[in-house]
Structure 1
């Protein structure tokens, strides 16, 4: 008795296609992971740069760049972004427009996190807002992230509790002229503000893409091994 390999055309073609597909998709995921790693390195470099000073002129969104601005909060336009848990507790992000000093231009500032009262959805948490002009620092972001929208969105108005909001939506509802980005304020909270500024790091997902790449490469390898192993069979010399 001896073991010999039997070549079969259809399984061979199917194996070649699966191996090619697995390698191609694995390489694609590797490239996506490399792009995310490069972005992480870029964000780390930006965090070490001096903050960009915002003035009365509109600027392009300096995504994830540190910024500094002086101005006064529009105290009658707070908005609460819902479904923003922190430390296992339900809560809101407090969003308020800041009028940039010496101009009619504003920028939306995410001032921090506030806890929600248990069992009282409509009850807003207390917070203080500094009067007059203040100087603050933070990180510029194109959006505050999106969460699942349940039901019809609430019309945007002062003291609204909303799931998501965009700069354009806020500008249309408030009539304010806005910079095209948000600022996540990073200054230490002042006495009485009752705000938590422990912002989540941006999740770029490089490890996720590495995991996907491994799965595609594993698929290619398994297809090849299956073809080779199932191609061998036992036979006798008389059958040769």
Structure 2
């Protein structure tokens, strides 16, 4: 049986649009996966390096991100901050943040000290926080930003012991009057404060992006296949209609 294909303008344009969008999104997800994999390799390489002592005459922000550093100074215990909605091992809790005065300078760096469980019965009730006093050395990993979560409702005013969804360093510097460096240190050194420091890797998620890319490529392929199949079916219908009309005409003429 003869099979034909009829090309129709609007289905063709719709297919081209869907395929173009699908391929573009798939390529974007693939690039994101590559970025995450490169980031993971960078983190792994710098994790094998020794911690770099940063003296007062050197900016902490001049150290490459994800490097391990050792900084001497003192915590500003009057300004604890709590990042909400940061679960760990399936438990709700906060990331405890605190300014750290770099010894021998007028500069401060924000330190993510660790994770603290949240009161399950009263969200506003904060557990007691132990802060080391006096000069000390901390070791940690440099990050260029804090991870962000979806903002739920209006943020609380930025004040000591505030519970926040997200934090902007420029706003913190304005409220405290302290000269903050433009990076954050995730503390990894042990301290007798009861905080957990099992920080999540920022490079996680490459597999998720590759899965999304596959889905977009599959959608593009399905759009092409649907266009071809429906076009062939329309062709069969057209041929059958023509043959039936020809048979009718022949019968009438005879």
Task: Give the TM-score taking structure 1 as reference length.
Answer: 0.85
Deviation at 1:162, TM superposition (A): 2.3
C-alpha distance in structure 1 between counterparts of 2:63 and 2:169, whole Å: 11
Structure 2 residue corresponding to 1:178, chosen from 177, 180, 186: 180
Report Cα offsets for 1:77-107 as digits up to 9, x if no partner: 2222222222332222221111112112111
How big is the shift at 1:125? 1.0
- Match status 1:224 vs 2:227: no
Alpha carbons of structure 1 residues 20 and 93: separation in structure 2 relative to 1, 3 Å = closer
Deviant stretches of 4+, over 6 Å: none
Q: In structure 2, how many angstroms separate the alpha carbons of the residues matched to 1:61 and 1:165?
A: 22
Shift of 1:115: 1.6
Give the match's secondary structure for 1:39: helix
Instruction: For residue 186 of structure 1, report the CA deviation from its aligned partner.
Output: 0.6
Deviation at 1:184, TM superposition (A): 0.9
**Aligned residue number for residue 7 of structure 1:** 6
Q: Deviations over 1:112-152 (max 9, x none)?
A: 11122232233221232222211111111222222333333
TM-score by length of 2: 0.81
Q: Distance in 2 between matches of 1:6 and 1:151?
A: 56
Contact map agreement 2:30 2:210 (CA 8 A) in 1: yes
In structure 1, what is the Cα distance between the partners aligned to 2:80 and 2:72? 18
SS in 1 for 2:30: helix
Structure with the greater alpha carbon radius of gyration: 2
> Structure 2: 5+ residue runs without aligned partners?
247-254
Structure with more of its chain in helix, by fraction:
2
The answer for the alignment partner of 1:53 in structure 2 is 53
Structure-2 residue corresponding to 1:205: 205
Q: What is the alpha-carbon distance in structure 1 between the residues aligned to residue 86 and residue 22 of structure 2?
A: 38
Structure-2 change in CA distance of 1:173 and 1:33 (3 Å)? same
Alignment of 1:1-240 (within 5 A): 2-10=1-9, 11-12=11-12, 14-56=14-56, 57-58=58-59, 59-60=61-62, 62-190=64-192, 193-230=193-230, 231-232=232-233, 233=236, 239=243
User: Would you tell me which structure has more strand in proportion to its own residues?
Assistant: 1
Q: What CA deviation, in whole Å up to 9, does each residue of 1:45-72 have, x standing for no partner?
A: 1212222332223334732222211111
Q: Structure 1 unaligned runs (5+)?
A: none
Residues 18 and 139 of structure 1: is their aligned pair in 2 closer, same or farther, counting only changes over 3 Å? same
Following the alignment from structure 1 to structure 2, what is the Cα–Cα distance between the partners of residues 208 and 30? 10
8 Å CA contact 1:189–1:197 kept in 2: the answer is no
CA RMSD of aligned residues (A): 2.5
